[in-house]
Every structure is written in structure tokens, then in C-alpha cells.
Chains A and B, each alone.
Chain A
């Protein structure tokens, strides 16, 4: 099978280049990661991340034939040759297919991705109704591979300002959690013109998510919730009058 892989070693190379490989695969090689492991036997200078090899850790996220995905759950039979592999776009390349995810995790941490409850912890766990628990489905499964965020043009142009789909789906995971007591602060934290509202709903994130999640729906839910909360906030204020007429 033919591969064309992005190579860049900052210690040796002045600029990146694409290197072609032809690899003999065996019947047991089903996924792209299997092929890459076989390739590393031929050329052990190729750098990449991998760990669980079953779509749980998210380490081997990369750009596969122009679309972000996980090498370990991408079937070789679905790929057109030559298989073009590049690092995830929008993040600095450390070496070959390995990117520096510092900005990605800075954005993730900025949404305070942990439960905030100021009540003393109960003897057992904090309970939820089945309905409240169901609200977290499709959110908590995010593995933080970065495929969605690095396929988002809004993140490419504003990586330090726009939280990105992965950060926002995690933000909504805690906003929607009935046990969390900082919903208002979490919504306020996303109020500037960039952090949340730079999403223009092009849905690249939903298209590439290897866990089949829908960050775009989570972002829309946050926007709707912000309107609801703002309406509640303004309802407590007396209505304005212009020339004696009550306005909206």
C-alpha cells in the first residue's frame, strides 16, 4: 500500500517535506495504525503518538487524506491511495505527525472542566435523576483527541481566543450537569465575542469527530441557554419606556 507522509525534524530539516512509502501489508493489518506500526519497522525515524490502539485515548489523531481522524479506528480498506498523512492542522508541529497541543489544553482548562459544587460531599456519590444524567450523553464521551478543534477554521485563525469545539463540548458537559453550582459563572466565562461566538456552525467538528459526537449541537445549546438566562436576568428589571410607550 502506498503512503505519502509529512516529515519534519526541526533538528535536521529546514522545512517540511512529504515522503513516500510502499509497504507490504499482511492480512492481520486492518487499521491505519497497523500499517503505521509496520512502517515504523522499515523507518523508525517516523514520529507519531499512539497508545490504546482502540479509539479511547485519542493519541493518534492525525489528518488522513485531508480529514482529521484516529489512525487506530480508520479502516485501511476505506482509504484511497496514496494515503496522505499530515499532522493535525492549526497546531505547531513538534516532529513529523506529532503536534504541540499546549494551546488546545489551555483552552480546555479555561472552561473549568471539573464539577463545582460547594455543598459538603455526601457520604456516597452526588445523585442525579435519570433524566438529568441523560443530559450528559453525547458530551462526556469526548476523548480530547483534538480532531474537531484542529479542523475548525475559527480555531486556526484565533487559537488563543476561540475555545474550540472540544473545549466547548466540555464546557456544556458541566453547564448541563445538574450537580454543578457554577452554571452562571460558566456562561459568563464564554461571553466575549470570541470564546463561544466565533463558531459559525460550519460543522467540520461534527463531521470529523471519531466518537460521533456533535460539538455543534452543544455550542448551539450553550447559545440558547445564554439567551434564556439573559432573558431571566432582564425580566427582573422594569421595562423601559420611550415617549411613554413600553418597549421590548
Chain B
């Protein structure tokens, strides 16, 4: 049912709702993060590595960053559509944003899954 609300049937609602759902997801994961950090109380680098070493936790962190990047991408897209009326300039800026978002996503992937935990 939730997915139905995010389809082309509701072109306005789906973008707005996606951004809110991303924000809600981030808030939940952030809360879990603080609970986990307070629970494990890491004091040094090795302890911080231990916080992020379980696969399920890394997947949850990845989900957090996917939501954050999606939330930011939608927000910046709106800002560009409002403030950059020139189509060519907006197209270039939007592509720069897309590249930055993809770069950040790759960096997150590399940190979470490319390093030894």
C-alpha cells in the first residue's frame, strides 16, 4: 500500500512523501546509533571498528546514507528548479549534484564494505 503512494499516480505526493520517509528512516537509525554507541561506549579506534563490524549494522548504516543522499538530492533538486530558471545552467548544476551524490554513495560503500572490519 505504501509503495502505491509513491507511484506516478501521485506525482506531487510521491516526492514529498519520499523525502519525509527518508527523514523518518534517518531519525530512527540515528536513534539506534546513539543507543548502540552509549551501550558499547567505544573509547578507542578498535572499539569504534567493533561498533561497525557486524554486517547488519553496516547495512543499517548504508540505509541511513541512502536515505540521507535521497533526501538531500530531492531538496537540492527543488532549490535548483526554483532558483535557476535558465535550463542549461540548471542541467549542468543538476548533473554536478548527481555526480556528488554518486561519489558520496561510492565513498560510503567503500568505507562500509571495502575496509577490513
Contact = CB atoms under 8 A, between A and B. Distances in A.
B16 A231 contact: no
Nearest to A239: B1
Interface stretch (B6-14, B33-41, B49-57): B6-14
Given A191-B13, A193-B15, A154 B82 contact: yes
Given A158-B82, A191-B10, A234 B1 contact: yes
Provide the main secondary structure of the chain A interface: loop
A190 B3 CA distance: 20
Interface string B55-88: 0000000000000000000000010001100000
Nearest to B4: A234
Provide the main secondary structure of the chain B interface: helix
Interface in A192-248: 192-198, 200, 223, 226-227, 230-231, 234-235, 237, 239-240, 247-248
A138 interface: no
Contacts of A191: 10-13
Contacts, number: 49
Given A154-B82, A157-B82, A157-B83, A230 B4 contact: yes
A200 B74 CA distance: 12
Contact of B5 (A153, A190, A198, A227): A227
Interface of A: 153-154, 157-158, 190-198, 200, 223, 226-227, 230-231, 234-235, 237, 239-240, 247-248
